[in-house]
Chain A
């Protein structure tokens, strides 16, 4: 593998995936059909995964596809199908023009403020640190090693707590999703 860094290649793809991501997000927000919206969201996630890879978070990129796009969005689609929401009669849910304008204005305001707040200038090029991380690929453990190191050493407690959280969520989802049966009538 060629470890040299080609800025143009990098930038082009960055912008490509970025624009596709934005476009997909816009489309996602404006679809009437929930299925269509879900699929556009999946697209956004794929773009983001690509960006993660480019930002030297390979593991994150992988699990973005596996977990987010592959599990969470699938659950969403399951529920959409389950509730049979594709009928046109239920699809008229986008607010009227006034609401859209207001929401757009608010969004722009939010954006402007975030832009104003992040006044710090970040370097446009990869820092030496980033370049070193890129070279991590050839190290033993590969690119996963730094993350694993941080996750299982420094943030072990958070990791364990997350597992408990998942357990709780499973239990909660099962309880909530249960159909009320004869056993509950007592």
Chain B
């Protein structure tokens, strides 16, 4: 491999950054090693992995009592995978190494200082030289990709360590780490790629790994279905991305980020072309980042193991859409209508998902809808052109959502151990079976409360800072911005932005409510798990709780990375300055060249409102949710009315089924199968050609009468025919 220096000789060129290609390659090597171990060990006798057709252990997704009879599961805690020791070293090990290298490159980047006004593009090799388009495999190291790389490798390492404890008894242990490493590889390709096609490679790759990991325990139908659902919905979005790439290539002639950035200057501001490109890109983002209308796969994805939910469906993969829009900031800032669409869809998703989260009983489902809701916030951020705010919320969300998921993983682990010890088949994830766990798992409880307060938006935790920044950005752009001057579906832009702000506050309120509700039902009040199980409830092992502590610290102080000027003084807006070479220009374009400036009074008012909303939400939940009134899930009454609708997710899945799935199946069955396949292809072409041949053969056979007379006739007729050809020439 070789590195092609940018013409001016980038300052990073002779630093450790030239080894940056190792950062994705290390997890790839981990994947290969773990994959080999998983295959190799499958040949030797031991506890069977579902991929080898045997039984499986572990928690199930979503279903209360669908627990298989294992047969010989007693003492299964002792049946670790034979290669588990190696895998425990390799899996997290490569991640740790990648993280270390990323830190080194980060420091190199900081050292380059002013020299980092342009990205460092290192071309590895030529991938597809096709005519006028030559695609290279090239990595782009700039401030934005560095932020993403730090998040991916850092939180990835923590989650890998957590998984060592969580998945320790799973017979598919090496396979899990193989897939997890592969995922990190693809995610790094996604954020490090220097062109849209390379990002798309990563995009598809993480979709694949998501499918593999959601359906990790695929011997259960529901898990396999969830994996399929995620992949197929992603593909719908990918169609949008592809169309956008086609449009880009057709009009700009290039697909690399730097090329697009340069060529965007020729695009008409607010024109149909750039709006179309941005809308199609956003369609891809709705698929990957679970926005309306393609969000329904994310709650189902909770069927996978909890570390997967934490890494993929909270911290990294689902944020790919936000990253992509931040990358395409130059394009989006040229299309206010598209931007408003992104922001509107984002806030609607935020509100919609929050309403559903209010009435979910499965702890992971609550967190899933919370993720969808927070992703909506991120899209609001990048939608209104506050790219830094969106990425900032991406970062803080990664911290506290990963913490929440891993914490719930610890809870589920404890519940699962308890149920296994007593051979109880109740649902280990249903909050109605929990309660009062604070007494048994104090560390986990405390850490999760930190995350809950962060997500609710209590200062000075990280979530408050990022969420407030987004809302402030929305408010600031209601005047003196390209968005305010545009119209969205006939509505003036400023009105739309006010509406977004209001709905954002509503979503914040609901966020506080359902998160507090979750904490109350899980950790407080009387314990509903059962007398026999109670002695088995305990804190998770330190390999699992350790990462939680790290995440807790990050959730608490992460906000200091980008404090608003109001509070930060000299330490304010570090992230903003860091990302300025990448998105600064595009951000300013939205606000018509001037940094948005709110008066101090306005800012204090906004902050006060946000905090008040958060406090009101927590108080509402605290007073209205009565843990003592709950009964275990098996005995719980069915919901009615609005509660039932919320619990059933507003029947969105059923609506999709009726509107899209059934008609497609119907068309497929009647038109394509019966009509086209059976009728035309089978009947006309295959059978028809056979009949035709038979017919021709029959005609031919009639000529073979064996009678000389017939042959004489044919002879003479032939002679007459030939002569007539000569006669009439």
A and B touch in the complex (CB under 8 A): yes
Chain A residues with CB under 8 Å of chain B are 106, 109-110, 113-114, 116-117
CA A117 to CA B726, docked complex, whole Å: 8
CA A110 to CA B727, docked complex, whole Å: 11
Kindly list chain A residues whose C-beta atoms are within 8 Å of the C-beta of B726.
117
Excluding A106-B720, A110-B716, A110-B723, 15 further A-B contacts by CB distance (< 8 Å) are A106-B716, A106-B717, A109-B720, A109-B724, A110-B719, A110-B720, A113-B720, A113-B723, A113-B724, A113-B727, A114-B723, A116-B727, A117-B723, A117-B726, A117-B727
CA A114 to CA B717, docked complex, whole Å: 14
Kindly list chain B residues whose C-beta atoms are within 8 Å of the C-beta of A110.
716, 719-720, 723
Kindly list chain A residues whose C-beta atoms are within 8 Å of the C-beta of B716.
106, 110
What is the number of residues of chain B that contact chain A, defined by CB distance less than 8 Å?
Answer: 8
CA A109 to CA B726, docked complex, whole Å: 14
Closest residue of chain A to B722, judged by CB? A113
CA A113 to CA B720, docked complex, whole Å: 8
Closest residue of chain A to B724, judged by CB? A113
Shortest distance from the beta carbon of B710 to any chain A beta carbon, whole Å = 12
Kindly list chain B residues whose C-beta atoms are within 8 Å of the C-beta of A109.
720, 724
Tell me the chain B residues, 688-729 only, with Cβ under 8 Å from chain A. 716-717, 719-720, 723-724, 726-727
7 A-B interface contacts by CB (under 8 A): A109-B720, A109-B724, A110-B719, A110-B723, A113-B724, A113-B727, A117-B726
Shortest distance from the beta carbon of A106 to any chain B beta carbon, whole Å = 6
Give the tally of cross-chain contacts (CB within 8 A).
Answer: 18
Kindly list chain B residues whose C-beta atoms are within 8 Å of the C-beta of A114.
723
Closest residue of chain B to A112, judged by CB? B727
Closest residue of chain A to B723, judged by CB? A113
CA A116 to CA B727, docked complex, whole Å: 7
Kindly list chain B residues whose C-beta atoms are within 8 Å of the C-beta of A113.
720, 723-724, 727
Chain B residues with CB under 8 Å of chain A are 716-717, 719-720, 723-724, 726-727
Kindly list chain B residues whose C-beta atoms are within 8 Å of the C-beta of A117.
723, 726-727
Kindly list chain A residues whose C-beta atoms are within 8 Å of the C-beta of B724.
109, 113
Kindly list chain A residues whose C-beta atoms are within 8 Å of the C-beta of B727.
113, 116-117
Shortest distance from the beta carbon of B470 to any chain A beta carbon, whole Å = 96
CA A114 to CA B724, docked complex, whole Å: 10
Closest residue of chain A to B709, judged by CB? A95
Kindly list chain A residues whose C-beta atoms are within 8 Å of the C-beta of B719.
110
Closest residue of chain B to A115, judged by CB? B727
Shortest distance from the beta carbon of B139 to any chain A beta carbon, whole Å = 84
Shortest distance from the beta carbon of A98 to any chain B beta carbon, whole Å = 13
Closest residue of chain B to A102, judged by CB? B713
Shortest distance from the beta carbon of B727 to any chain A beta carbon, whole Å = 5
Shortest distance from the beta carbon of B709 to any chain A beta carbon, whole Å = 8
CA A117 to CA B727, docked complex, whole Å: 6
CA A109 to CA B720, docked complex, whole Å: 8
Shortest distance from the beta carbon of B379 to any chain A beta carbon, whole Å = 87
Kindly list chain A residues whose C-beta atoms are within 8 Å of the C-beta of B717.
106
CA A43 to CA B332, docked complex, whole Å: 108
Instruction: Give the top 9 A-B pairs by smallest Cβ distance, nearest first.
Output: A113-B723, A116-B727, A113-B727, A109-B720, A110-B720, A106-B716, A113-B724, A117-B727, A106-B720
Shortest distance from the beta carbon of A1 to any chain B beta carbon, whole Å = 43
CA A57 to CA B410, docked complex, whole Å: 124
Shortest distance from the beta carbon of B397 to any chain A beta carbon, whole Å = 95
CA A109 to CA B721, docked complex, whole Å: 10
CA A88 to CA B724, docked complex, whole Å: 40
Kindly list chain B residues whose C-beta atoms are within 8 Å of the C-beta of A106.
716-717, 720
Shortest distance from the beta carbon of A132 to any chain B beta carbon, whole Å = 35
Shortest distance from the beta carbon of B651 to any chain A beta carbon, whole Å = 79
Kindly list chain A residues whose C-beta atoms are within 8 Å of the C-beta of B720.
106, 109-110, 113
CA A113 to CA B726, docked complex, whole Å: 9
Closest residue of chain A to B716, judged by CB? A106
CA A116 to CA B723, docked complex, whole Å: 10
Closest residue of chain B to A116, judged by CB? B727
CA A110 to CA B715, docked complex, whole Å: 13
Shortest distance from the beta carbon of A127 to any chain B beta carbon, whole Å = 28
Shortest distance from the beta carbon of A103 to any chain B beta carbon, whole Å = 9
CA A106 to CA B724, docked complex, whole Å: 12
CA A116 to CA B726, docked complex, whole Å: 10
CA A106 to CA B717, docked complex, whole Å: 8
CA A53 to CA B192, docked complex, whole Å: 108
CA A117 to CA B724, docked complex, whole Å: 10
Closest residue of chain A to B728, judged by CB? A116
CA A50 to CA B716, docked complex, whole Å: 29
Kindly list chain A residues whose C-beta atoms are within 8 Å of the C-beta of B723.
110, 113-114, 117
CA A113 to CA B724, docked complex, whole Å: 7
CA A110 to CA B722, docked complex, whole Å: 11
Shortest distance from the beta carbon of A38 to any chain B beta carbon, whole Å = 19
Shortest distance from the beta carbon of A9 to any chain B beta carbon, whole Å = 36
Shortest distance from the beta carbon of A89 to any chain B beta carbon, whole Å = 20
Kindly list chain B residues whose C-beta atoms are within 8 Å of the C-beta of A116.
727
Shortest distance from the beta carbon of B360 to any chain A beta carbon, whole Å = 91
Shortest distance from the beta carbon of B714 to any chain A beta carbon, whole Å = 12
Shortest distance from the beta carbon of A102 to any chain B beta carbon, whole Å = 9
CA A109 to CA B717, docked complex, whole Å: 10
CA A110 to CA B713, docked complex, whole Å: 13
Shortest distance from the beta carbon of B496 to any chain A beta carbon, whole Å = 89
CA A109 to CA B716, docked complex, whole Å: 11
Closest residue of chain B to A109, judged by CB? B720
Shortest distance from the beta carbon of A27 to any chain B beta carbon, whole Å = 21
CA A136 to CA B719, docked complex, whole Å: 40
CA A117 to CA B716, docked complex, whole Å: 17
Shortest distance from the beta carbon of A164 to any chain B beta carbon, whole Å = 28
Closest residue of chain B to A95, judged by CB? B709
Shortest distance from the beta carbon of B711 to any chain A beta carbon, whole Å = 15
CA A106 to CA B713, docked complex, whole Å: 10
CA A106 to CA B723, docked complex, whole Å: 12
Shortest distance from the beta carbon of A108 to any chain B beta carbon, whole Å = 11
CA A82 to CA B314, docked complex, whole Å: 108
CA A109 to CA B719, docked complex, whole Å: 11
Shortest distance from the beta carbon of A113 to any chain B beta carbon, whole Å = 4
CA A116 to CA B724, docked complex, whole Å: 10
Interface-central residue, A109, A110, A113, A114, by most chain B CB under 10 Å: A113
CA A164 to CA B717, docked complex, whole Å: 34
Shortest distance from the beta carbon of B384 to any chain A beta carbon, whole Å = 92
CA A13 to CA B720, docked complex, whole Å: 33
Shortest distance from the beta carbon of A141 to any chain B beta carbon, whole Å = 40
CA A47 to CA B720, docked complex, whole Å: 28
CA A77 to CA B710, docked complex, whole Å: 26
CA A113 to CA B729, docked complex, whole Å: 12
Shortest distance from the beta carbon of A110 to any chain B beta carbon, whole Å = 6
Closest residue of chain B to A113, judged by CB? B723
CA A51 to CA B664, docked complex, whole Å: 89
Shortest distance from the beta carbon of A58 to any chain B beta carbon, whole Å = 33
Shortest distance from the beta carbon of B717 to any chain A beta carbon, whole Å = 7
Closest residue of chain B to A110, judged by CB? B720
